[in-house]
Structure 1
Amino acid sequence: MINRTTSVNPGGAHYFFQGWKLIHQPGIRRFVLLPLLVNIVLMGSAFLWLFHKLNVWIALIMAHVPDWLQWLSYLLWPLTVISILLVFSYFFSTLTNWIAAPFCGLLSEQLEARLTGQSPPETGWIELMKSTPHILLREWQKLAWYLPRALGLLIFYLIPGLGQTLAPVLWFLFSAWTLAIQYCDYPFDNHKVDFTRMRKALSQYKSDNMQFGALVSLFTLMPIINLVILPVAVCGATAMWVDKYRAQLGISHTRHQ
């Protein structure tokens, strides 16, 4: 069993930084490796391409700022950069999570067993392949929830002045909540807690989850560090599941045990 120090009422920030410690735990490192490799290859390549194109995209977006708002360009320019980075990082995080989802679920499952003092379930490649269709269906559910809300924010961004000023802030908050859902979903789904019920459970600790998701979002924007953020977030979200949701939902065992 992995021993952790927890405060009386730990918040989302606590679990995010717990994730950095948990990825180094004996017995967990080998399950960290595959999602880590997927993240390094995809996110590394994506951000290299982004930084090559960033100046062109900024110029195109700033060209649509109306003349009467040009005096605010010093403020709108950094907001535009942040918006591009947030949208881009979330898009490629989603793509990475689709590919790495079976490995993330396995990492969460193995970590949960160790955090709760239970015997880690034996999960081989055959079991992993059998669970992949269900895992991908769950990713579709998350995408279906996300797309109309993201589209609404995109439309709002196109409103001259107001959109360019407020949309980056709203997008950051939306990304924080979405990333909390994304990573907390792995332990919930391991126990077949449906998507709607999971979102209701997360809403009970919305402040904690917003903290967690905001930190994941911020660290995803940081070159080099963002290459390891996927397994860190999975481990942090799993620790939060064990402490805040597992008993509440009446779950006392690990999957497949």
Structure 2
Amino acid sequence: MLTRVTVTVAPHDNNALKLLVPTGVPTPHQVPVSFDVRGGAMSLTGESTTGQMAALVVPDGREPLEIAYLYREGGPGYPDAAFAPRENRFTRAAQDLVYDAINIADAQSGGHAAIQALVNAAAEKFRYAHPEVKFNDGSEEVPYLSCGLTEGSCVDINTYLIASLRAAGFEAGYITGYFFPEEKNGCCEDMHCWVVTRHEGTVLEWDIAHHLKMGTREICCGLNPKPGSRVAVAHSMGLTFPELDIACEKLMAEPVWVLPDGKLEEADLVIRQTVEDLT
């Protein structure tokens, strides 16, 4: 099975800007085998905290850019670097969150039960939404949510979950990519993210946001509780690209324009997927 993902990027008013694009990462389910850019010249730039490489694209002119990924079914697993803890404001748990996570984990019969309990606890904190103000905006650490429901997207929910898991001493990785809902016939509107845990040699995948969108807080491990398919493009939070003066950027997923001051600006995108059966 081959999965092709094409991201068409509308030109920017400032044709001197460059586009920063993740190049894809492997999972247990897929491996990226091709990455191509049409409509611009591409070079590579390195992310200094994880070792990931990203494409830096200079548009040829005023026509749309086309970013093309090709994934083959079956993969070697998630990158080891995704599980490595790195302290920054998107991953550092506030002390109250550390205490809560440790208490939840210690009350369980073993590591896998503790991971499930931490996932359930994170799910109980959120109502799925895309608030303008995030629960950790302006904070140098991930705050503890003590009561009530907090509005949050997949990014917000997984920020909290990763901080909780790592605070309790578990290996966890934050993965970004695209999810294509079954009912949209190979289209999606923006990026998606999920969490993977690794304990005693077992890797489990978690997608709280999709469970909440389906109206349940009974969270099961595994991908695509909401029918569809996905690809992974990058991992981790708090990314730094020294060549571009980008420091501790929250995440890398969709192509973004790099402004002269190192800030990033969303691009106007059209995202499509096609699947080919090689048999």
Scaled to the shorter chain, the TM-score interval is: under 0.3
Task: Normalising by structure 1, report the TM-score.
Answer: 0.28
Structure showing the higher strand proportion among its residues: 2
Task: Normalising by structure 2, report the TM-score.
Answer: 0.26
Structure showing the higher helix proportion among its residues: 1
Name the structure, 1 or 2, with higher relative contact order (CA <8 Å, separation 6+): 1
